[in-house]
């Protein structure tokens, strides 16, 4: 029981904290479709938590519940020990939960730099009036944010495209810019929906390295949806497995890998 509240040490020596978010009996319906059926699990502070499952299992829906884009039909979300009321996505973002999208949602008309700067909107203090009347302070603040953004640009190795309009970038780089924008918010929790989908091996390796590094350096909690099992096994501390909206497995990667239900789901064994 103590481990539940106190956290644990990983094999590679990272310290995982107590429960940061708890999802209790989440059900999500779209008209007749039940995308999530009574699922409960928790996410610990500093953990890399993967959600896996076949297509249409409800993984993205789950992430959308966490990020406030969907309100669960039943069940409750607890963050830092408090039950979260119905929230709009922008309010969830202001709590320090940043995300990327399965189908990339960037501001195509803006430069890479501007895109990443939008990630800092929630951290900017200067309001409308102070910006209009007190240029000095607002400009100073802008500089500070710029500095932080440049660090992220360096970290993700995208210095050479910082002025390029995002719409012109190839897919793999777009994914990286989207991650940069999410990071710019200095999130407590980062939600990544298939961050490596459609990437080549080299791009995937880079992305894995970034995810591990930022978790290690900043202690960011990461919830990750991924189809590549190799990646999931390498990165994650614990894995939730979903199938047809239900949770069929939950635990460390090697434990989950040997779970019969999970093997069946992936091999397409018929359900009874």
Partner 1 sequence: MPDQLLFAMEVMLNGLMAGVMYALVALGFVLIYKASGIFNYAQGVLALFAALTLVGIQQGQVPFAHLINAVTGLHITHFGWTVPSALAILLTLGVMVALAIVIEKLVLKHLVNQPPIILFMATIGMAYFLEGFGDVMWGADIKKLDVGLPQGISETVESATDAMFGYGFFIDNLDIVATLVAVALVAALTIFSQYSKQGRALRAVADDHQAALSVGISLRFIWILVWSIAGFVALVAGIMWGSKSGVQFSLSLIALKALPVLMLGGFTSIPGAIVGGLIIGVGEKLFEFFAGPLIGGATENWFAYVLALVFLVFRPQGLFGEKIIERV
100 near ligand ATP, rule: CB under 6 A? no
Q: Considering beta carbons, is residue 59 or 247 the nearer one to ligand ATP?
A: 59
Question: Are 192 and 100 in contact, with CB atoms under 8 Å apart?
Answer: yes
Query: What is d(CA 187, CA 184) in angstroms, rounded to the nearest whole number?
Result: 8
The counts of H helices and E strands in the chain are 11, 12
Q: What does the chain come to in residues? A: 272
Out of 17, 56, 89, 251, the residue judged to bind ligand ATP by CB under 6 A: 56
Q: How far is the CB of 94 from partner 1 (least distance, A)?
A: 5
The Cα-based distances of 107 to 21, 103, 124, 165, 189 in angstroms read 29, 13, 19, 9, 22
61 near ligand ATP, rule: CB under 6 A? yes
Give the x-and-dash track for 69-108 against Mg ion (CB under 5 A).
---------------------------------x------
Tokens of 1: 């029981």
Q: Which stretch binds ligand ATP (CB under 6 A): 59-67, 154-162, 176-184, 258-266?
A: 59-67
Question: Are 124 and 141 in contact, with CB atoms under 8 Å apart?
Answer: yes
89 near ligand ATP, rule: CB under 6 A? no
Question: Are 102 and 178 in contact, with CB atoms under 8 Å apart?
Answer: no
Question: Are 24 and 76 in contact, with CB atoms under 8 Å apart?
Answer: yes
Q: How far is the CB of 88 from partner 1 (least distance, A)?
A: 7
Q: Which stretch binds ligand ATP (CB under 6 A): 54-62, 166-174, 230-238, 256-264?
A: 54-62
Q: Considering beta carbons, is residue 60 or 100 the nearer one to Mg ion?
A: 60
Phi then psi for residue 205, to 5 deg, are -60, -45
Out of 55, 103, 200, 270, the residue judged to bind ligand ATP by CB under 6 A: 55
Q: How far is the CB of 103 from Mg ion (least distance, A)?
A: 9
Question: Are 230 and 43 in contact, with CB atoms under 8 Å apart?
Answer: no
Give the footprint of ligand ATP on this chain (CB under 6 A): 30, 33, 35, 53, 55-61, 102
């Amino acid at each position: 029981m103590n481990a539940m509240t106190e956290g644990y040490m990983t094999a590679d020596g990272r310290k995982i904290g107590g429960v940061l978010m708890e999802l209790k009996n989440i059900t999500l319906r779209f008209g007749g479709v039940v995308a999530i059926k009574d699922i409960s699990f928790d996410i610990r502070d500093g953990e890399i938590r993967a959600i896996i499952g076949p297509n249409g299992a409800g993984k993205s829906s789950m992430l959308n519940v966490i990020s406030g884009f969907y309100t669960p039909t039943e069940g409750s979300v607890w963050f830092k020990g408090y039950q979260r009321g119905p929230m709009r996505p922008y309010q969830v973002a202001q709590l320090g939960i940043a995300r990327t999208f399965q189908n990339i949602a960037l501001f195509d008309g803006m430069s890479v730099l501007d895109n990443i700067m939008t990630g800092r909107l929630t951290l900017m203090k200067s309001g409308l009036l102070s910006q209009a009347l007190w240029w000095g302070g607002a400009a100073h603040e802008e500089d500070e944010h710029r500095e932080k953004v440049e660090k992220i640009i360096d970290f993700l190795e995208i210095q050479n495209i910082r002025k390029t309009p995002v719409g012109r970038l190839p897919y793999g780089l777009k994914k990286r810019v989207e991650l940069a924008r999410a990071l710019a918010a200095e999130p407590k929790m980062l939600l990544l929906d298939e961050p490596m989908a459609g990437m080549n091996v080299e791009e995937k390796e880079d992305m894995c390295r970034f995810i591990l590094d930022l978790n290690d350096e900043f202690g960011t909690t990461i919830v990750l949806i991924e189809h590549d099992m190799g990646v999931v096994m390498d990165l994650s501390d614990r894995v939730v497995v979903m199938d047809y909206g239900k949770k069929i497995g939950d635990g460390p990667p090697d434990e989950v890998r040997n779970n019969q239900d999970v093997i069946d789901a992936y091999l397409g064994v018929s359900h009874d």
